[in-house]
């Protein structure tokens, strides 16, 4: 099967905004994953508040998953796979906050905000992803008419 995809080049400012957004997400998630690898009291208290107990193995496992997914997102050839995995991870975080009835805009939707930054940054810096987005193609076609 042959797939023909048109590449829509992004302007230089758009690419830089995408890199900055992606960089912010990468730094935040690497920090988040790293602190879960160390059994600090604040991390264990947060895990208990979320209803996961104080299991060091679970905490370290979540930290490792966060770091692996973030590294995949940071490497250009695997960035789409990393974004997909991070979307699932952030969806789980949202579900956990819904379950314990966290504040909506500050805690529950934080995973959504981060997910929008993940995909927005990737969309701005990756021409192949832009070519897959149908609304982008429609907008370009409208401009040319």
Encoded tokens for 40:
């600090």
The answer as to whether 136 is a domain residue is: no
How is the chain classified by DSSP, letter by letter?
--------PPPHHHHHHHHHHHHHHHHHHHHHHHHHHTT-HHHHHHHHHTTSTT-HHHHHHHHHHHHHHHHHHHSGGGHHHHHHHHHHHHHHHHHHHHHTT--IIIIITHHHHHHHHHHHHHHHH-HHHHHH-HHHHHHHHHHH-
What pLDDT, on the 0 to 100 scale, is given for residue 136?
A: 46
The answer as to whether 140 is a domain residue is: no
The answer as to whether 55 is a domain residue is: yes
The answer as to whether 145 is a domain residue is: no
| Separation CA 47–CA 11 (nearest Å) | 42
The answer as to whether 133 is a domain residue is: no
pTM attached to this predicted model: 0.81
What pLDDT, on the 0 to 100 scale, is given for residue 73?
A: 97
What pLDDT, on the 0 to 100 scale, is given for residue 144?
A: 53
- Count structural domains, the chain: 1
| Separation CA 38–CA 86 (nearest Å) | 21
What pLDDT, on the 0 to 100 scale, is given for residue 6?
A: 52
The answer as to whether 142 is a domain residue is: no
* Residue 101 clears pLDDT 60, i.e. is over it: yes
The whole domain housing 56 covers 12-127
The answer as to whether 7 is a domain residue is: no
* Residue 86 clears pLDDT 70, i.e. is over it: yes
The answer as to whether 81 is a domain residue is: yes
Tens digits of residue pLDDT in 8-66: 566 788 889 999 999 999 999 999 999 999 878 888 888 888 888 777 888 899 999 99
């Amino acid at each position: 099967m042959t797939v023909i995809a048109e590449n829509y080049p992004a302007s230089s400012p758009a690419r830089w905004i995408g890199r900055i957004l992606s960089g912010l997400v990468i730094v935040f998630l690497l920090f988040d994953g790293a602190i879960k690898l160390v059994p600090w009291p604040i991390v264990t208290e947060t895990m208990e508040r979320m209803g996961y107990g104080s299991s060091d193995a679970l905490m370290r496992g979540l930290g490792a998953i966060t770091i692996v997914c973030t590294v995949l997102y940071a490497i250009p050839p695997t960035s789409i796979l990393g974004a997909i995995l991070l979307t699932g991870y952030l969806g789980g975080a949202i579900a956990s906050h819904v379950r314990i009835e966290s504040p909506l805009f500050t805690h529950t939707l934080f995973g959504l905000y981060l997910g929008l930054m993940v995909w927005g940054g990737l969309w701005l810096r990756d021409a192949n992803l832009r070519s897959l987005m149908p609304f982008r193609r429609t907008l370009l076609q409208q401009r040319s008419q």
